[in-house]
Structure 1
């Protein structure tokens, strides 16, 4: 939604790539603002689109994963997630990643929300999908750089995971929280049920 008094988009006067590798592409822009202000060195991180999946099984359990994350040197719960390949539709990427990482597939799919890791620095978005009625279809099919364990948890356990800080990835917390809030009838319902968990 656009508001009448919204700030104006910035003008890029000059742009150059500082670094250009698949997982670390940084662009430097020289910016001129509508009010006359300038930012000579504005850095933007370019990534492909990302996806993640809130997956609910046919018996109403949630499919979560755990893996080591080197930057914070920790292992936490996460949603299944991944990168959208070039010329790939986000929904196709989400279905592919869920099947590869967890072995679960099928069900009914819908876009739950679209997120930015940080709109001040990141150029990409994350498409978060809700997949209901998924079933175990195959064994995991992991890449050599992936070490992922699959965990089937109840909704009550998912609330406990959130409340105890066992999930750290904010792009995963947001869609899971939205799903739980919608399922329970809004923030008051989530608060009441989380106290009972």
Structure 2
């Protein structure tokens, strides 16, 4: 839906990279708005596509992880998540990340939602998937830079985690809450 009175896209008058590293790429743009406003220094953070997974076991339990996040110097609950490799399909990346980080796999997968961490400054999207009926397939296969503990929790405990502020990653909270909003429409028995 594009109402006639929607704001128009901005015109980019110039664009230059300020810094380019795999996890910190920033470009500066000079912007001219349709209204005549000018923003001489608008910064965009470039990231690869991200994925995350609301994973539900064959017993109806949720697969969550905990890991330390240095930006906020804390450990919290999260969904399994990761980066889409160049040329990789987001679904394949999500399945790979779940298997590597938790050892869970299989099940029936479907797209859940697509999100932006911050559409004002980030150029990437996060694709969230729902995986119903997952089972342990292997041991965790973590990278040297990953320290992740796996937690299998009941739906009630997962809601408690949310309500008690034990999950703070917004890109993980939104898909988990969407799952709970729509949970009655997911008949696990029909999908296995």
Q: Is the shorter-chain TM-score for this pair beyond 0.5, marking a shared fold?
A: yes
Report 1:89-100 matches (<5 A): 89-100=89-100
Match of 2:161 in 1: 161
Deviations 1:112-137 (A, max 9, x none): 00000000000000000000000000
Match of 2:2 in 1: 2
2:72 and 2:64 mapped to 1: Cα distance? 19
**Dislocated runs of 4+, deviation >2 Å:** none
1:58 and 2:58 correspond: yes
Match of 1:188 in 2: none
Alignment gaps of 5+ in structure 2 = 186-192
Match of 1:78 in 2: 78
1:4 and 1:132 mapped to 2: Cα distance? 41
Question: How many residues get paired?
Answer: 185
1:51 and 1:67 mapped to 2: Cα distance? 17
Match of 2:35 in 1: 35
Report 1:171-186 matches (<5 A): 171-184=171-184
Per-residue deviation, 1:183: 1.3
1:184 and 1:173 mapped to 2: Cα distance? 18
Alignment gaps of 5+ in structure 1 = 186-197
- Kindly report the root-mean-square deviation, in angstroms, between the aligned alpha carbons of the 2 structures: 0.8
Match of 1:120 in 2: 120
Per-residue deviation, 1:184: 5.0
Per-residue deviation, 1:143: 0.1
1:183 and 1:90 mapped to 2: Cα distance? 23
Deviations 1:84-104 (A, max 9, x none): 000000000000000000000
Match of 1:103 in 2: 103
1:183 and 1:27 mapped to 2: Cα distance? 41
SS in 2 for 1:88: coil
Per-residue deviation, 1:25: 0.1
Match of 2:189 in 1: none
Deviations 1:154-174 (A, max 9, x none): 000000000000001000000
Q: TM-score with structure 1 length normalisation?
A: 0.93
Report 1:109-148 matches (<5 A): 109-148=109-148
